[in-house]
Amino acid sequence: MRGDAIRCAVAIAASAILLTAGAVGLSGQQVPRNGFWLEGGTGTGTIRSAGSAAERSEVTVAYGRSLHLRVGGAVSSRVLLGVELFTLDSDDLALQQGDPVVDAQNGSVGPVVLWYVGGSGLFLKGGVGVARGTFSARSATGQVISAKRTGSALSFDVGFDIDVARWLALTANLGTYILAIGDVSVEDASVDDLVATVYEAGIGLTLR
C-alpha cells in the first residue's frame, strides 16, 4: 500500500509538473521552429506488454533502443503540424509472464501536432496514426518465426529545443506511445489484445 502511494504520488507529481509547465507556457510568444523543419533523434525506452486479462503481476517490461523522425511545418505562431515515424527495438520482451522472450520491433507512423509553450523551446506533442508490431522468435529448428500486426497508435511527448544555431537545435524528448496491436502469437509466446505502452527518452537534432 505504501509503495502504491509513492508510485502514484510520483506519477501524479510528474504529470502535474509537465502539464503545469505546459499550461503556464501557453501564454508565450515565440516559435522556435518556423516554416519547414526536420527532427531526428534516438534514445532509450521501455515497452510494457499487458494483454486484456493481465493482472498487475503479469505485466512484462523490456528495454530497447528508440528512433524517431519528424518532419513538418508551422501552421500558426505556436502550433506545428508534421508527420512522425517512431520505432523501438527490444530483444528481450516476454509477451506474458513465463513466456519465452521475443525480439520485438514496435513503432508508429502518423500525423503529429506540436504546441510550443512559451518562448523557451518547450513543446507538447500529440499524435495519432498506424501502429506496427513485429515479433520474432527462433524455433527449435533454428528457424526465425515472425508475427506482424498492424493497429492504431497514439503518442504524447514533452520536448525541449535547445538552440545551437539559428537553423539548428538540440532537441530532448520524453514521450509515451500507446500501440494497440491486437492478438499476437509467435512460437510458444502469445498475448490477447496487446496494447503495448512505450515510454521513451531521446535526444536529437532539429533542422529548422
Partner 1 sequence: MKTIARLWLTAACIGLPVAASAQPAPSRAEPTVTSCTNKQTLNAVAQSLGVNIAVNRANAWVFGYDWAHVGFKSWASNLDRGWKWDANQFTTNMFVHPYHGSLYFNAARANCLNFWESVPIAFLGSWEWEYFGETFRPSLNDFYMTGFGGPILGEVLHRVSAAVLDEEADGAERIGRELAALVINPVGGLNRLVRGQWTRHGVNPPDRISDSYLFQAKIGARRVEEVEGQDGVASSPTLLLDISLGDVFGTPYREPLDVVHMLAQVSPDGGGLNLLRIVGRLYGKELTSGDGWQRHELLVNQRMDYVNNPVYHFGEQSLEVGVQSLWRTGPSGFHLSTRLAGDAVMLGAIEALAEPQEDRTIDWGPGVGAIAEISLERDGRTYLSWYNRVRYLRAVSGAPANHTLLFSGFDITIPLTSQLGVGAYLSGDHRYSHYTEKPDVDRAYVETRVYLTWTLGHRTPDPTR
Residues that bind partner 1 (CB under 8 A): 1, 3-5, 7-8, 11-12, 19-20, 22-24, 26-27, 48, 50, 52, 54-56, 59, 76, 79, 113, 115, 124, 126, 128, 130, 149-152, 154, 156, 178, 180-183, 192-193, 195, 197
Length of the chain: 208
Chain centre distance of CA 180: 13
SS3 51: coil
Contact 114, 165 (CB under 8 A): no
Of 40 and 48, CB closest to partner 1: 48
CA distances (Å), origin 26, targets 15, 80, 119: 16, 14, 9
- Angstrom distance (rounded) from CA 53 to CA 127: 27
Grid cell for residue 100: 519465452
Nearest distance from C-beta of residue 166 to partner 1, angstroms:
27
| For partner 1, the closer CB: 61 or 203 | 61
Shortest distance, position 84 Cβ to partner 1, whole Å? 15
CA distance 19 to 198: 19
Question: Which residue lies nearer to partner 1 by CB, 178 or 207?
Answer: 178
Nearer to partner 1, 26 or 205 (CB): 26
